[in-house]
């Protein structure tokens, strides 16, 4: 009888530990309450579009060196967008009659495809990190915005509002990653990287 009682106690303990592990895993990836960083009491500014933060946290620990890879791919995406699309547009490089317009448009087209590609990889890396996984929705918004913008640039219908909207989405991602402890500076891809798509 004593053996049966101790076996029941052991089974109960194992079940309780498994339940506790599940609760901790869910809490570590859900939205932070009261805008505090986990375990620090330090307020963090929440990035927009993180209301469904838990939805993007299903793949935690699925990528090795996820944070390092995230910084690389997100940095290349941000750098490609700013250097080859946003800044040239603001400088008038895409305007009819502008010197070097054709070359600028070709680079912008390559940069658009490259940026979407790098954002998709960075999103997978973010999904693997328990803090960055809440940025999945902003990644989807930026990728969709960039795809639409690339088409408008190609047919000459892109306007300042289109560029500013996508720039806002990219800025949201950069600020969101920094607010979650992972600042991502722009990295300008080489011509070979643009042409190769990676």
pLDDT digits (tens, 9 = 90+) for 125-168: 888 888 787 887 888 899 899 988 888 877 778 888 999 999 99
CA separation, residue 30 to residues 67, 69, 119, 135, 193 (Å): 18, 22, 22, 11, 35
Q: What is the pTM of this model?
A: 0.67
CA separation, residue 86 to residues 121, 135, 162, 167 (Å): 21, 22, 10, 7
Asked if 131 and 181 touch (Cβ cutoff 8 Å), the reply is yes
Asked if 146 and 102 touch (Cβ cutoff 8 Å), the reply is no
pLDDT at position 170 is 94
pLDDT digits (tens, 9 = 90+) for 13-36: 333 333 333 323 323 333 333 333
Burial of residue 41, with CB atoms counted within 10 A of its CB: 0-12 exposed, 13-18 middle, 19 or more buried: exposed
pLDDT, mean of residues 43-72: 59
Task: Report the chain's terminal Cα–Cα distance, integer Å.
Answer: 66
Spatial distance between the Cα atoms of 176 and 170, rounded to a whole number of angstroms: 10
Q: Which two tokens stand for residue 25?
A: 């895993």
Asked if 67 and 132 touch (Cβ cutoff 8 Å), the reply is yes
The phi and psi torsions of 94 (rounded to 5 degrees) equal: -95, -5
Quote the mean pLDDT of the chain.
Answer: 73
pLDDT digits (tens, 9 = 90+) for 110-126: 999 999 999 999 988 88
pLDDT at position 198 is 55
């Amino acid at each position: 009888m004593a053996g049966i009682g101790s076996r029941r106690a052991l089974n109960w303990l194992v079940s309780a530990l498994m339940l506790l592990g599940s609760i901790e895993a869910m809490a570590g990836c859900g939205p932070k309450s009261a805008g505090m960083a986990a375990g620090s009491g330090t307020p963090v500014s929440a990035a927009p579009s993180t209301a469904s933060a838990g939805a993007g946290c299903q793949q935690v620990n699925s990528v090795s060196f996820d944070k390092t890879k995230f910084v690389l791919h997100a940095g290349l995406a941000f750098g490609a967008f700013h250097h080859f699309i946003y800044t040239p547009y603001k400088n008038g490089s895409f305007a009819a009659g502008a010197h070097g317009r054709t070359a600028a448009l070709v680079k912008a087209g390559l940069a658009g495809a490259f940026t979407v590609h790098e954002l998709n990889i960075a999103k997978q890396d973010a999904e693997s990190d328990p803090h960055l996984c809440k940025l999945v929705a902003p990644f989807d918004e930026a990728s969709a915005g960039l795809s639409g913008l690339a088409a408008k640039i190609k047919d000459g219908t892109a306007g300042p509002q289109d560029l500013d909207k996508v720039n806002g989405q990219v800025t949201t991602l950069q600020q969101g990653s920094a607010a979650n402890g992972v600042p991502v500076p722009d990295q300008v891809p080489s011509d070979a990287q643009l042409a190769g798509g990676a």
